[in-house]
Amino acid sequence: MLNGKRILLIVAGGIAAFKSLELIRRLRERGASVRCVITAAGAQFVTPLSLQALSEDRVYSDMFSLTDESEMGHIELSREADLLVVAPATANILARMAAGLADDLAATVVLATDKPVLAAPAMNVRMWTHAATVANVETLKKRGVTFVGPNDGAMACNEHGPGRMSEPEEIVAAIEGMLTAERPPFEKPPFEKPLTGKRAVVTSGPTREAIDPVRYISNHSSGKQGHAIASALARLGAEVTLVSGPVAIADPTGLRTVHVESADQMLAACLAAGTVDIAVCAAAVADWKAAHPAASKIKKKAGSEPPALELAPNPDILATLSNLGAKPGAKRPALVVGFAAETENLVANAIDKRKRKGCDWILANDVSAAAGTFGGEHNTVHLISAAGVEDWPTLAKGDVASRLADRIALHFSRPPKAEAAE
Ligand code: PMT
C-alpha cells in the first residue's frame, strides 16, 4: 500500500502518455496522492483536464505562470513529493535530465528535487538503442535515477523491440519497491556502515524454467523480500550483487543487479560474483526444470493426448554456496543464509532444511495462501541458527530485511565463538 505517499507524476510527450492516466488511477487506489506536471508535448497526447480529473488536483505545466508560482513555487513542487515519476520518459526528457537542463517546468522540477526519481522510458526502439540515449540512461543511473522498463513488444510505429512503456501495474510495483522499505534507525545520522568492506550476494524473485520458447515453470515470488534484503545490506555499507529472477519491481539503487531467468543462470551469476563474505538466498528457485525443453513451440494436435512433461532437478544454489569450501580454490562465504518456504510443520521442516543444505542460518516463513507471503507486503519469520530458534513478529518486508541486515552486522562484529551463544 502507498497510504499517504505523495507522487509527483511528470507526463512527457509520447503515445504512452495514455497509460499515465491509468497509472494515476492505480496509485490513488493504493492510497497515494498524485500531482501532475505535463510538458507541452505531453499535452498533445493527453489533456491536462484528464490528468486533473483523475488526480483531483491542479495540473502544472507552465514555468512562468504567476498563478502557479504564487500557489506552489517550482522548487516546492519538486520537494514536497515523496517520489518523482517520469512516465512516459521520452528520449527528449531523458536527454534534458542527463544534461541538467531547466528549460521547462518538468525538467526544472527534476533538476531541483532532492527526492528519489523513477523513470519509465517509452520511445521507438531505435531511439532507445541509440548511443546517445544509452549514454544518457547510464548517466542518470549513476546519479541514482531508478528505471522501470521499457518492455519488449510491438510499438505504435509498427516496429518491434524494447521501448514500450511498462504497464501501470509494473510502475506501481516499482514505486512500492522504492517507497515501502522502512528507513531503519542506523540510517539516521551519524550514518553507521558496519558492513563496509564486506561483499554480499543476494538471490531474489522466482526462476523461470523454459518448457518451450513460449511456456515456462515458475512461481509467485515477487522479489520484494530479496530486493529489500539486498538494499538493507547495501545501506549498511556492504558491496552487494543482487541476482534477480524475472520480477516487476525496480532494481534497488546503491548496488549491482544481475538479471537472470533460470536456476542454472542464477547459480552461474552467484558464482560469477566472486568471493563473498555473505550469501543470502531469498529466491524461490524452481526445484525442477523441463528435462528436454523444446526448441520450438510445442503444437497442440487435435485429438491427441497432452504431451508428457519430463522433469529434471535444478542445481541447489543454497547448498552449492554452503558447501563451496569443499572444492579447491572456491571459498565458502563466511555466513550463508537461506529461506525455508513451508506450508506445514514450519519450524521443524526448516531446522531439517538448514542441516541438509549446510547453511548457517535459515529464515522459516509460512507460504500457505492464507499467509499471503508470496507477493505480499509482510512476512512472519523464524530465524534458525545453531543456537536455536528466534521468533520474529509479523513485519513489513523492509523491516524483516533491516532486522536481518542488523543481525548480520552484529555477527561480523563479534568474535567467532560468540555465535553459539547468539
Ligand atoms: O519474493 P516475495 O514475494 O517477497 O516472497 C518472499 C519469499 C516467500 C519467496 C521468500 O521469503 C522465501 O521464502 N524464499 C525462499 C523460497 C524457497 O524456494 O524456499 P525452499 O524452502 O523451496 O528453498 C529453501 C532454500 O533453498 C531457499 O533459500 C532457496 O532460495 C534455496 N534453493 C531452493 C531450491 C534450489 N534449487 N536452489 C536453492 O538455492
Q: DSSP labels for 122-138? A: ---HHHHHSHHHHHHHH
Which of 204, 265, 278, 339 gets mutated to test ligand 1 (max ligand atoms within 8 A of its CB)?
339
Q: Looking at the DSSP assignment, which residues form a beta bridge with residue 202?
A: 242, 280
Q: Closest residue (by CA) to atom 37 of ligand 1? A: 316
Between CA 205 and CA 228 the distance in angstroms is: 11
Query: 10 Å Cβ neighbour count for 238?
Result: 27
Q: How confident is the model at residue 396 (pLDDT cuts 50, 70, 90)?
A: confident
Quick one: cell of 3?
Answer: 497510504
Question: Domains plus CATH for the chain?
Answer: 6-179 (3.40.50.1950), 185-421 (3.40.50.10300)
pLDDT at 414: 67
φ and ψ at 158, to 5 degrees? Answer: 70, 15
Ligand 1 atom at minimal distance to the Cα of residue 283: 30
Instruction: State if residue 245 touches ligand 1 by the CB under 6 angstroms criterion.
Output: no
Instruction: State if residue 317 touches ligand 1 by the CB under 6 angstroms criterion.
Output: yes
Query: 10 Å Cβ neighbour count for 46?
Result: 19
Question: How many secondary structure helices (H) and strands (E) does the chain include?
Answer: 14, 22
What is the DSSP-derived secondary structure letter of residue 370? G
Q: How confident is the model at residue 76 (pLDDT cuts 50, 70, 90)?
A: confident
Between CA 272 and CA 24 the distance in angstroms is: 40
pLDDT at 253: 84
Is the confidence at residue 422, as pLDDT, over 80? no
Q: Looking at the DSSP assignment, which residues form a beta bridge with residue 244?
A: 204, 259
Residue 111, burial from CB neighbour count under 10 angstroms (0-12, 13-18, 19+)? middle
CA 177, 183, 189, 192 torsion-angle sign: negative
pLDDT at 66: 61
Average pLDDT over residues 25-43: 95
Between CA 375 and CA 221 the distance in angstroms is: 6
Compare 194 and 85 and report the one with higher pLDDT. Answer: 85
Which of 231, 281, 378, 394 gets mutated to test ligand 1 (max ligand atoms within 8 A of its CB)?
281
Instruction: State if residue 321 touches ligand 1 by the CB under 6 angstroms criterion.
Output: no
pLDDT at 326: 75
**Contact in structure between 224 and 172 (CB atoms under 8 Å):** no
Q: How confident is the model at residue 72 (pLDDT cuts 50, 70, 90)?
A: low
Give the residue numbers marked as catalytic: 157
Residue with cell 558447501: 323
Between CA 200 and CA 194 the distance in angstroms is: 13
Average pLDDT over residues 56-78: 79
